Structure 1
Amino acid sequence: MTSPATVPVPAPEPVPLRRRLLRAAGWLAVVAFAWWAVTRLAGAVDWDEVAAALRRLSWWALVPMVVLLLVRQTLNAAPMALYVPGLGLWHATQNDLSAHVVATFAPPPADLVLRVAQFRSWDVDPVRAMTGMTLNMATYYGVRVGAPVLGLAFLAADGIERRQWLFAGLCALATAALGVAVALILRGDAFAAAVGRAAGRAGRLVRRGVDPEAWAARVVQVRQTAAGDLRRGILRAVLALVVMLLVDASILLVALRAVGVGEATLPTLDVLGAFLLAYPLTILPMAGLGVVDALLVGGWTVAAGTEHEGAIVAATLAWRVVTIGGTLLLGTLALVAWRWRARRRPPADGTSYLQGVSG
């Protein structure tokens, strides 16, 4: 059996120059695609109007946006605290933020190595914690895919288009299928292995290095290790993530109001509903940067009028800066704070917390 000190997480290898260049090219491609999506779906944007709207964004508006960001990140980490005994909400948030920064700038599995090192430094069983992380990921994907169903509830007063019904219906079916799969996984090892193997085969279509048998073993381990934790924490975890989505949408709502897009122009329910309908697309790189933004800007411009397009684009840019840039800043602070404490409190045997995580 694997001991907490030797969790089989491979150590990150040095990144070749070619891979670094490809990564940089990928980032440039994302930025270029974002620009294309905004101009293609939202139309020709008057960037002078956008700049004027951004100048109307007072510094005080950043205060509630940052506070909401802190709440969002705390709620995002709440399932980990519920699924991992002894971790706690503070450490779960710190772990989530730190791993996000590492995953953004370093190749995998550097983020997993960091997570395991942090679990060890907090005297949390890394095996149990990694199982909780798997449960957290499954819960988040279920809520993410199911978000359009809640979005329809917000949009019901103004009428719902057929395509919105269709998209939300498909998302509801996907969420239900995921829920049924989780329920069956909890009933026995055989079905858990079958689900993991099927997921591994699907993953191998995208990434050749995926081992379906390893995935099967992982799902069985999750069932055996944390079935009780999942049953006890699933409802509270789902509730926390649903509130997290509403808080995320509220950051964008604050930005819209701060640049002059009022309630009469774009009602709050329309903002929340459209955001939740588009939320599954955040599965794309950089949280759907460009695609999600273009869909929101295009839809809201049609509803509010083209004279408000510049302000809507400005609010969307402010939301992205706060949620993407702010999260990276918080993650950097969380990582620096952990490393500082880790240096002051090294393991009793004198080793590093990073030692032993490569198996």
Structure 2
Amino acid sequence: MSTPEDAPTKPPRQGRSFAKPLIIVALSVIAGYLVVELVGQVDWQQVAHAFTKFSWWQIAILIVLVAIRQVFNALPLATFVPGLGVMRSLDNDLAANVIGTITPPPGDMVIRVAMFNSWNINPIDGMAGVTMNMLNFYAVRLLCPVIGLAVFVGAGIEAHRTVWALLCALGAVALLLILAMVLRAEDWADRLGRSAAASARRFKATADPDKWSAAVTDFRARMATGFVQRSAKSVASLIAMVAVDAVVLLLALRFVGISSSSVGGLLVIGTFFMAYPLTTMPLFGFGILDAVLVSTYVESAGEAWEPEIIAAVAVWRALTILGPLLVGAVTVFLWRRRTGTDLNLWGGRHDKDAAVPAS
């Protein structure tokens, strides 16, 4: 989807180009420190020893599950963008993930648009699909605590944070209702665009209500057809992705020696869903989410299993964050080699094929 403003922006300074990766590294270090502080004194030698309990075939199983997780993650974009297909959707998501991690905005959008162009996919349709996918993912993040609460209740586990789950559910319903109203009625799309422009004017005086209204109305026209069916498929795929993510963590705990009598499978999955909204934070909640998971599982299993639990969570994190980043880097390299596309993702100036045409 095209942006409301067409005015060119100044390319960022080279020093600023490296700011995002450095900030992410700093946040990772701080988050790691928070994990240590929240779980207490950790015997890191025991943690290192716990890693040796994983067999190569166990890691292979986890890698296969992570691959399945990425496919579920790619299905919504393929659903919203006509002619894209699952494999190209997977490539687009992986490429945007790695570029968005290491380059300043809008590097991830530039690579998405350039890939759409190379596949003869209308980039406006493509970015409308990306926007729809993002909105559905936010809704799923808010729905996850409700699923976690249902798991706890169904398993007879004492359910904590019930108010948290209900508030998240209200947020998800509100988001989906607003989206449905915008897509079903043109006047709602017009109002949303103008209201967003009015808010944006507090930070950017050039925000034009007419252009913003036209952008939202154009988005509505492209996404309104089959909205309910496509959104249902998208939400189902994203919930399946989260479920596979939880299974990867559960198996990592089992492979490192944590039995079901120490930490029950439904406790693992329920807690994971309950805490999933924390993935909105940098690096999918790295550090904060990990601390919540580790502290909950240690409370169930006992401090004697703390090193194994930390090792299992670390393996899960490595596979689900570093794995897609590595594959995404390979995807970008192969795509650029195959298409001959040369993009300057750091300097803010790109070739003409990377630009989103005006709607």
TM-score by length of 1: 0.88
Which TM-score applies when normalising by structure 2? 0.88
Distance 1:273 1:198, change over 3 A: farther
* 1:249 and 1:271 in contact (8 A); partners too: yes
Aligned to 2:345: none
Distance across 2 between alignment mates of 1:209 and 1:33: 36
Question: Equivalent residue for 2:304?
Answer: 307
Query: 120, 123, 127: which is aligned to 1:126?
Result: 123
Match of residue 160 from structure 1: 158
Structure 1 residues 317-326 or 27-36, which shifts more? 27-36
CA distance, structure 1, for counterparts of residue 200 and residue 258 of structure 2: 43
Q: Is the Cα–Cα contact under 8 Å of residues 10 and 357 in structure 1 kept in the other structure? A: no
Cα drift, residue 116 of structure 1: 1.1
Shift of 1:49: 1.6
Post-superposition CA distance 1:281-339 (Å, at most 9, x none): 10001110000000000011111111111110000111111111101111112112212
Work out the number of aligned pairs and report it: 345
Cα distance in 2 between the residues matched to 1:272 and 1:166: 19
SS in 1 for 2:259: coil
C-alpha contact (below 8 Å) 1:12/1:110 kept by paired residues: no
- Deviation at 1:124? 1.0
Q: Which of 123, 131, 136 pairs up with 2:133?
A: 136
Question: Does the 8 Å CA contact 2:144/2:276 hold for their aligned counterparts?
Answer: yes
Native 8 Å contact 1:282 1:288 kept in 2: yes
Q: Distance in 2 between matches of 1:323 and 1:39?
A: 21
For residue 90 of structure 1, the aligned residue among 66, 87, 92 is 87
Q: Secondary structure, in 3 states, of the residue corresponding to 1:123?
A: coil
Change (3 A) 1:200 1:280: farther
- RMSD of equivalent CA atoms: 2.7
Distance 2:229 2:236 in 1: 13
1:259 partner amino acid: V
1:262 matched to 2:252: no
Deviates more, 1:296-305 or 1:31-40: 31-40
User: Partner letter of residue 270 of structure 2?
Assistant: G
Assess if the C-alpha contact under 8 Å between 1:155 and 1:269 holds in 2.
yes
Provide the C-alpha distance between the structure 2 equivalents of 1:171 and 1:158, rounded to a whole number of angstroms: 22
- How much has 1:14 moved relative to structure 2? 5.0
Q: Which amino acid aligns with 1:183?
A: A
Specify which of 95, 98, 102 is matched with residue 99 of structure 2. 102
C-alpha contact (below 8 Å) 1:82/1:229 kept by paired residues: no
**The residue matched to 1:159 in structure 2 has which SS?**
coil
Q: Distance in 2 between matches of 1:201 and 1:61?
A: 54
Query: In structure 1, which of residues 138, 145, 148 is the aligned counterpart of residue 145 of structure 2?
Result: 148
For residues 57 and 10 of structure 1, the distance between their equivalents in structure 2, rounded to whole angstroms, comes to: 54
Contact residue 196 and residue 218 of structure 1 kept, 8 A? yes
Secondary structure at 2:257's aligned position in 1? coil
Q: Supply the distance in 1 between the matched residues of 2:58 and 2:7 (Cα, whole angstroms).
A: 44
Matches of 1:115 and 1:10, distance apart in 2:
20
Q: Kindly indicate whether residue 55 of structure 2 is the aligned counterpart of residue 50 of structure 1.
A: no
In structure 1, what is the Cα distance between the partners aligned to 2:328 and 2:125?
23
Residue aligning to 1:347: none
TM superposition shift of 1:118: 0.9
Deviation, 1:121, is 1.2
One of 233, 246, 251 as aligned partner of 1:249: 246
User: Deviation at 1:65?
Assistant: 1.0
Residues of 1 paired with 2:208 and 2:41: CA distance?
A: 46
Match of 2:294 in 1: 297
Is the 8 Å Cα contact of residues 38 and 294 (structure 1) preserved in structure 2? yes
Q: Deviations over 1:258-299 (max 9, x none)?
A: 111111211111111000111001000111000000000001
Gaps of 5+ in 2: 342-349
Report the residue type matching 1:54 in the other structure.
F
Give 1:340's aligned residue.
337
1:114-164 deviations in Å (ceiling 9; x for gaps): 1111111111111111111111111111101110100112112243344x1
Distance 2:205 2:61 in 1: 44
